[in-house]
Structure 1
């Protein structure tokens, strides 16, 4: 990805990744994808996050090829993330990753993640899970060496999963993407990522929408004259944590991009962080062997 004025974070591959990306979960169908990506590009988004299980990789790839010239951009100006489906964990990983590459049809994927530490169709306590993860990672390492996946990483890994990977891998993960918001500060995971120079990235920054009505969030947003969503996203990026707010609404996409022209006070940051109660709104990987 070429350098741009978009605030970014340096991955351990030496590549800059935008702090703000558009999450595309639940964006289904070419019309919805087109509207969201068009609005996002107009507002300065240069990062787009997909996954095999989102079933929108093909639409995202087609839409980007159509829209990049409209916005005066090239493939190198955007950062594309996708993820290996849990059904392809293990022996299906190479085929699954190649399918993502074919669906997006953008030449390469900037960042490709193992979406889940378990394997679809197997119980979380299945003792084959560690071997499947290792097999998946080996496949991603091969595609990384070929230049098809510019960076590789993981999603929904626990500290134990991260340490297991780092101790056995040839190529260290560039990024860990997990649920992160004021009610789930992920202190231990962030320390592990810092120790091994792995970028820590947030998803579900709004707690599936529940956090925008939290009294503390509402008070902070009123005081700084920003929306609750902007406050929650700013709380993350002010800590250097990239975010992936998802929306199909052009107005909301525009609002979510307004993160870099204000700063939360230390007091407000501390008040928000004090909401931490280790509450997960999304899938919980803690029991996956």
Structure 2
């Protein structure tokens, strides 16, 4: 089992470790862009990579890793790969969807596979078939987990209600909940639910789609500790034990985002940032999904 030695990790309830820092690949399009971002990430110590069926770049990510890992003296076991089931495959097509991700990535196993969204493509958010489809998807993921094709399974964009529903019916507890998380969306209730169930809470959109890097408080904190606003926002999360997945196609930004583990924010700065909480979502809102 790899130790992902170059980056700090967090234990999952599957007794595996997940790196606290991963490269998000949302909107990275085309073999060349994916290859460049993965190359920069591996060079600066990233050992986790996050994709999804809806990103349409699983094949490019798989190819980039196959080409680049040997260059860095790394093997498949040295990296942690996450992918996600598309809403179009929610329910009866979940098994097929997960196996398609495996095939596109060209891997024997995926380290973490998530249900991307609690709803189903083509159904209204209020459609009462959504809960049944989620349950069916989860059963398929549990089966692939038992076969070792998925080393850990989890969910994304679930609300506290969706989490409670899942915990009541699952045979295998989710290892991770991945949601939007930043100082304007502190997700207190959801984090407490995860804590209660022993589920790792993971952040996406740590920079609030780039909006937060221009926030006066964030800028002031960054200037005070000689860091960039992006580094401060990412550090705010990891200092609370929350893994992050910053996305960039720019090699210098990828490298800059990795500089998280050699500084600490003061309690005062942590409080100042957390006080920005407005419950504000920049990304998808799943609160209406039945």
**Cα distance in 2 for residues equivalent to 1:41 and 1:274:** 34
Listed one character per residue, the Cα deviations across residues 155-208 of structure 1 (whole Å, up to 9, x for unaligned) are: 000000000000100000000000000000000000000000000000000000
* 1:158 alignment partner in structure 2: 159
* 1:20 alignment partner in structure 2: 21
**Cα distance in 2 for residues equivalent to 1:134 and 1:106:** 26
Is residue 273 of structure 1 aligned with residue 270 of structure 2?
Answer: no
**Cα distance in 1 for residues equivalent to 2:21 and 2:193:** 22
* 2:250 alignment partner in structure 1: 249
Q: What is the number of residues matched between the two proteins?
A: 289
* 2:240 alignment partner in structure 1: 239
- Once the two structures are TM-superposed, the CA of residue 107 in structure 1 deviates from its matched residue by 1.1
- Once the two structures are TM-superposed, the CA of residue 265 in structure 1 deviates from its matched residue by 0.1
Listed one character per residue, the Cα deviations across residues 14-67 of structure 1 (whole Å, up to 9, x for unaligned) are: 000000000000111110011000000000000000000000000100110110
Q: Is the partner of 2:174 in helix, strand or coil?
A: coil
Q: Is the 8 A contact 2:6 2:45 kept in 1?
A: no
**Cα distance in 2 for residues equivalent to 1:106 and 1:2:** 16
* 1:52 alignment partner in structure 2: 53
* 2:125 alignment partner in structure 1: 124
- Once the two structures are TM-superposed, the CA of residue 5 in structure 1 deviates from its matched residue by 3.6
Q: Is the partner of 2:69 in helix, strand or coil?
A: helix
Is residue 285 of structure 1 aligned with residue 286 of structure 2?
Answer: yes
Q: Is the 8 A contact 2:91 2:137 kept in 1?
A: yes
**Cα distance in 2 for residues equivalent to 1:151 and 1:262:** 30
**Cα distance in 2 for residues equivalent to 1:85 and 1:28:** 17
1:140-219 alignment, distance < 5 Å: 140-219=141-220
* 1:112 alignment partner in structure 2: 113
Unmatched 5+ residue regions in structure 2?
none
- Once the two structures are TM-superposed, the CA of residue 220 in structure 1 deviates from its matched residue by 0.1
TM-score (norm 2): 0.99
* 1:35 alignment partner in structure 2: 36
**Cα distance in 2 for residues equivalent to 1:62 and 1:37:** 10
- Once the two structures are TM-superposed, the CA of residue 251 in structure 1 deviates from its matched residue by 0.3
TM-score (norm 1): 1.00
* 2:2 alignment partner in structure 1: 2
Is residue 98 of structure 1 aligned with residue 74 of structure 2?
Answer: no
Q: Is the partner of 1:2 in helix, strand or coil?
A: coil
Unmatched 5+ residue regions in structure 1?
none
**Cα distance in 1 for residues equivalent to 2:240 and 2:53:** 29
Is residue 84 of structure 1 aligned with residue 90 of structure 2?
Answer: no
* 2:74 alignment partner in structure 1: 73
